[in-house]
Structure 1
Amino acid sequence: MSEPISEKESETLSRCIKIDDWIFEIKMVRAIRVEEYGQPYSAIANINLNGDNAYVDGLMTNSDAEFVREDFNTIKEYFKRLGVKQVQFDRYKNQQSTAHSHDVSTAHSHDVSTAESKPQPLQLVSVG
């Protein structure tokens, strides 16, 4: 399993990092559902970030694993830690696409428990 790199680094993590005359901004994220990095994953999501909005433009699961509420709550928690307020995504069901929007700042009791609803610092993890 991945280990946190440093508590100090996780406190200062931002979507923008300046190095010399360059600013690196996180605008796109690939998320994978897997117990340990490097192992075969059962789901993948491609996410574009713009300000306090996110758009999930790709979400796929393998044929044996469905995307369930716990998966959505995990992704929602990630968005909350980044300060994302609104998420848009398309859902494909019965060969039809429907657009959905979700307010991340609105926590429902069935979405996130009270203990998890407080923003937590992001942690960098080593992957190799």
Structure 2
Amino acid sequence: MRKSVPILAGLACVVLLSGCGKRGYDRARPDEFAVARQAPLVIPPDYSLVPPQPGAARPQDNASQAQTLDALFGGNTQRSAAENGVVNQAGGDSADTGIRSSVGDPATNVVDKGATTRDIVAAPEGDGQDAKASAQ
């Protein structure tokens, strides 16, 4: 009994290892990268293009800043009734239109609130469950 266990284990290893060989059972499977050839890239002709006129302005140079503003803010479109209502309730008819200029003006009075206010404003968002008090 003692000798039969190592012999059976050895035979089991030989049988399992023989299954890894490529002698008897070899599937002929296709190479997945060689199955289909890719067609070459062809750019179809665009018949709407016309050659540029000598001395004419380039169309992409016309008011690039205006094109950028139109892309960002949608151009000069009329406000909807709901949007007009919100703006009127917020006091849009009496609002100071130059507020951005007056905020950036060096003559604007600014109150320094100190590092504590800066730390509170810069604190990450959260519900405060992980907040801890520190003894100073």
Normalised by the size of structure 2, how large is the TM-score?
0.18
Pick 1 or 2: higher relative contact order, CA cutoff 8 A, min separation 6. Answer: 1
Judging by fraction of residues, say which structure has more strand: 1
Give me the TM-score of the superposition, normalised by structure 1.
Answer: 0.19
Query: Which protein shows a greater Rg?
Result: 2
User: More helix by proportion, 1 or 2?
Assistant: 2
